[in-house]
Amino acid sequence: MNHYRGQLCIMSCTSGLYFTKKILKAVNKKIQKKLHLLDTEEILFANTEIKTILNESIRGKDVFIIQDIENHFDGRSVDENLRALYTVIGACRRCDANYITAVVPSFPYARQDKQTGREDITAARVAWELEGDLGADHIITMDLHNPAIQGFFRSAQIENLRGSQILVPYIKKDIHNPENTVIIPTDLGGAKRANYYAHNLHTGVAFTYKNRNYSKANTIRSMAIMGDVKGKAVYIIDDMIDTATTFCKAMTIAKESGAEEITGVTTFALLNNNAIKNLEKYHKEKILNKLITTDASYLPKDFLQKHKWVEVVSVAEYFAEIICRLNSRQSIGELLG
Residues catalogued as catalytic: 210
Q: How far apart are CA 252 and CA 229, in angstroms?
A: 12
Long-range pairs, 318-322, Cβ under 8 A, ≥24: 318/161, 318/165, 318/166, 319/23, 319/26, 319/103, 319/105, 319/140, 319/161, 320/23, 320/26, 320/27, 320/29, 320/30, 321/26, 321/30, 322/140, 322/159, 322/161
H or E segment to which residue 100 belongs: strand 99-103
Give me the amino acid identity at 292.
Answer: I
Beta-bridge partners for 161: 142
Q: How far is CA 184 from the centre of its chain?
A: 19
Q: How far apart are CA 122 and CA 91, in angstroms?
A: 24
Beta-bridge partners for 263: 235, 290
Contact at 8 Å (CB) between 53 and 91?
yes
Contact at 8 Å (CB) between 68 and 86?
no
Q: How far apart are CA 246 and CA 243, in angstroms?
A: 8
Sign for the CA dihedral angle at 244, 193, 30, 33 comes to negative
207-212 and 220-226 as β-strands: parallel, antiparallel, unpaired? antiparallel
Q: How far apart are CA 320 and CA 314, in angstroms?
A: 11
Count Cβ atoms within 10 A of the Cβ of residue 25 and give its class: 0-12 exposed, 13-18 middle, 19 or more buried.
middle
DSSP state for residue 37 in the 8-state scheme? B
